[in-house]
Amino acid sequence: MRKYNSLRDISIDIREGNINCSQLVEYYLDNIEEKAYLNAFLEVYKDEAKQQAALIDQKIRKGTAGRLAGMVIGIKDVLCYKDHSLQCSSRILDGFKSQFTATAVQRLIDEDVIIIGRINCDEFAMGSSNENSAFGPVRNEIDTERVPGGSSGGSAVAVQADLCLAALGTDTGGSVRQPAAFCGIIGLKPTYSRISRYGLTAYASSFDTIGILTSDIFDNALLLQIMAGKDEYDSTVSGIPVPDYTTHLQYGKKAKIAYIKETLEDPRIDREIQEKTREVLVFLEKEGHTVEAIEYPLLDFVLPTYYILTTAEASSNLSRYDGVKYGYRSPNTIDLESMYKKSRSEGFGEEVQRRILLGTFILSASYYDAYYTKAQKVRRIIRDRTLEILEKYDFIALPTTPTTAFKIGEVKNPLDMYFEDLLTVQASVAGNPAISIPVGTDSKGLPVGFQLMSGYFKETELLGISKYILDNYKKGND
């Protein structure tokens, strides 16, 4: 069976009788088994996926199938799926099974998507390389000695390596966009509150966003359209009507695009990535779009603001994992206090412990105003400045990552690892939608991502301009 990059191609072949859902599932299951060395999946729902495929094949014959019939996806191991294991790639949740299904996941199931398995990630979505999983690192298929990015690295590799057609990830500070860039696929972080967080394991609640990883922009738009919108189980989700993203993918007007000057001059950002970003901007300018450099002096403040606030929220959110009601409980305890301490120190990995400790320090009485309160004020300034730019321009353009995929074990200093989020955290701090699209490779053959941000709830425009670039940039540079 040939590799499919889009649901449209699959739907055509199903309609013409060339394939069916059962054959598709078998194809993906074979690929998962053959490429098990990538360590993308923590659990494969083999029998269940086959049963679901047979059921959907019947629906297709009857003409009652949903919009996602023929789409096989994987879900990141932070999303609840009733009666299925949920571990957040951590030992602290050993043995835990979800008692309900996340709203976003349920909406896909209702449209006849086939979930093929649970995907590896950085523990509790904390990481930029997918090396923090309790179940070992995920490997980039392009070079298995390199990371796929994080924290949704397993989701990105699952799409990259043809283990499923699409995958759900989460983006708190770039955890969909960065792995998409490292793996050469499309990664969308919608506006904060566009998709319900009900059933998403909390890391930093005021940042967490369910994101989408695909090879095709139409598939990304369709998944967003189905998952987005009001939810009675989540009071923080937006009630703004959901447009038909899939019918507005043709970008016919001339855009005004601002690019952050500092990102193309900063010596810490890989020169080849800067050059590739300039090439895309020159292409857009030649196509008649307005492309202007802007200064953004807040760039160096975005990353510390992000880490102060997210570690504080993580400290609070992760306090519920204590070995009492569910998950891992240390067998080496003598009293209640030792049970708490040992269960958490043995169950959580090093990076999660580091962020909990940092967050606890930030929230302590002596430092709350000095760090947390001040960071909230800076967050508002960052948000306001971003919105000011987007009142004048349609999009903000910048590289997705400061480097291409690095080798497993290469980045040892936590601060150097945090630096990998430099270019993605602005959209997360401000709450704006952002997307990473593949625009070629560097001299080592490693993918380079191009990132675009737009105003709140302007995913239609963001997806449209992304499709325009994907369809035309390569032609213009051949």
* Contact predicate 217/5, CB 8 Å: no
Answer yes or no: are the C-beta atoms of 165 and 73 closer than 8 Å: yes
For the beta carbon of residue 20, count every other beta carbon within 10 angstroms. Answer: 17
Is 356 within 8 Å of 123 (Cβ atoms)? no
Residue indicated by tokens 């649901």: 7
| Distance, CA of 86 to chain centre | 18
Structure tokens at 327: 């998950």
Under a CB-based contact definition with an 8 Å cutoff, are residues 251 and 468 in contact?
yes
Task: Report how far apart, in Å, the C-alpha atoms of 453 and of each of 269, 351, 414, 434 are.
Answer: 19, 29, 27, 4
Could you tell me the two tokens for 130? Answer: 């997918």
Residues involved in catalysis? 76, 151, 175
Q: How far is CA 226 from CA 28, 64, 194, 461, in A?
A: 23, 17, 11, 17
